[in-house]
Amino acid sequence: MKILVADDSKAMRMIVIRNLKSAGFSDATFSEAENGKQGLDSVKADKPDLILSDWNMPEMNGLEFCQAVTAEGIDVTFGFVTSESTADMRSLAEEAGAKFLIAKPFTPQAFQEAISLAVGS
């Protein structure tokens, strides 16, 4: 499984990847992006199975990134990992094509549950 983690914080990318490994994805191949634009380039080149993206990022934010992936018709499961999770954000995320939104602070179980549901649906 190929997983792309997009976040402008290197520390948070490390934290997300560590949690994914603890959640049972230790055999996955991980790639990283610092913003949505870099993420979109990476999606086109590497064709990941799963994208986990922050919401607030420079250049292209997470919502624009998700919308661009959907507009390109790329078949990938997209989920957000965000500091905030308001009802408005969840609604915007869903409209853009995201399958889930995990709010910080999170646990490996939160990843495991959200990804299982998204991939299973």
Q: How far is the CB of 48 from other proteins (least distance, A)?
A: 23
Contact status: 58 vs other proteins (CB under 8 A): no
Cα–chain center distance at 48: 11
Angle at CA of residue 4, ends 36 and 75, nearest 5°: 85
Greatest CA span in the chain, whole angstroms?
Answer: 35
Q: Which of 2, 12, 49, 90 binds other proteins (CB under 8 A)?
A: 12
Burial class (CB in 10 A: 0-12, 13-18, 19+), 10: exposed
Specify the residue, 49 or 104, whose C-beta has the smaller distance to other proteins.
104
Q: Which of 15, 28, 92, 118 binds other proteins (CB under 8 A)?
A: 15
User: Do 46 and 4 form a contact (C-beta atoms < 8 A)?
Assistant: yes
Q: Give the per-residue contact string, 71-110, with other proteins (x = CB under 8 A; - = no).
A: ------------xx------------------xxxxxx--
Which residues make up the interface to other proteins (CB under 8 A)? 9-12, 14-15, 18-19, 22, 83-84, 103-108
